[in-house]
Amino acid sequence: MLPRLVFIILIIAGAIHGATKQKSDLSCMFLGYPDLEYDGFDRTETLTEKNFNKTVFADDTKSVVFFNDIEEDDNEFDQFECFLQLSAQIMTKRGYNFYTVNTTRETKLRKQEEVEKGEDTIHVYKDGYKIEYNGVRDPETFVSWLMDIPDDPVTIINDNHDLEEFENLEDEVVRVVGYFEPGSAALREFEEAAEDFMGEIEFFAVVTSKWARKLGLKRIAEVQMYRPFEDEPLYAPQTVDTEDEFEDWVEKNKEPVMQKLTLQNYFNVWKDPEEDEKLVLVFCDEETREGRAMFKLLKKLAEENREHAGTLEIVLADPDEFPLMVDVWEEMFGIDIEEGPQIGLVDVSEKEGIWFDMSQLNLDDPKKHQDSNLEALQTWIDQIMDGSITLDDDDDDNDDDDDDEPPPPPPPSKKKSKKEL
Task: Choose one of 253, 269, 293: the last residue of a domain.
Answer: 253
pLDDT at 38: 87
pLDDT at 89: 95
pLDDT at 205: 98
pLDDT at 337: 95
Of the candidates 15, 28, 144, which has an alpha carbon nearest to the alpha carbon of residue 86?
Answer: 28
Task: Choose one of 147, 182, 209: the last residue of a domain.
Answer: 147
Spell out a b/e string for 124-149, using b for 16 or more CB atoms within 10 Å of the CB, else e: bbbeebbbbbbbbbbbbbbbebbeee
- What are the helix (H) ranges across 169-229? 185-195, 209-214
Cβ pair 345, 280 in contact under 8 A: yes
Kindly state whether residues 395 and 321 are assigned to the same domain: yes
Of the candidates 118, 123, 120, 114, which has an alpha carbon nearest to the alpha carbon of residue 104?
Answer: 118
pLDDT at 70: 81
Would residue 1 count as lying in a domain? no
Task: Choose one of 238, 253, 268: the last residue of a domain.
Answer: 253
Would residue 380 count as lying in a domain? yes
pLDDT at 223: 98
pLDDT at 276: 83
For 61, phi then psi, to 5°, come to: -120, 150
What is the spatial distance between Cα 114 and Cα 121, in angstroms, rounded to a whole number? Answer: 10
Would residue 316 count as lying in a domain? yes
> What domain count does the chain have?
3
Would residue 413 count as lying in a domain? yes
357's CB contacts (< 8 A; 6+ apart) are none
Q: Which helix (H) or strand (E) holds 244?
A: helix 243-253
101: β partners: 67
Q: What's the pTM value of the predicted model, to 2 decimals?
A: 0.82
Kindly state whether residues 124 and 24 are assigned to the same domain: yes
What is the spatial distance between Cα 224 and Cα 180, in angstroms, rounded to a whole number? Answer: 12
Give the residues of the chain that fall short of pLDDT 70. 1-25, 29-31, 73, 393-421
Q: Which helix (H) or strand (E) holds 160?
A: helix 160-168
Kindly state whether residues 266 and 413 are assigned to the same domain: yes
CA 113 vs CA 97, 103, 105, 116, 281: distances in Å: 18, 10, 14, 9, 31
Kindly state whether residues 394 and 266 are assigned to the same domain: yes
Kindly state whether residues 131 and 197 are assigned to the same domain: no
For 169, phi then psi, to 5°, come to: -90, 0
Packing angle, helices 77-91 and 139-147, rounded to 10: 30
Kindly state whether residues 289 and 223 are assigned to the same domain: no
What is the spatial distance between Cα 245 and Cα 239, in angstroms, rounded to a whole number? Answer: 9
Kindly state whether residues 218 and 239 are assigned to the same domain: yes
Kindly state whether residues 279 and 395 are assigned to the same domain: yes
pLDDT at 187: 97
Give the domain range for residue 356: 258-417
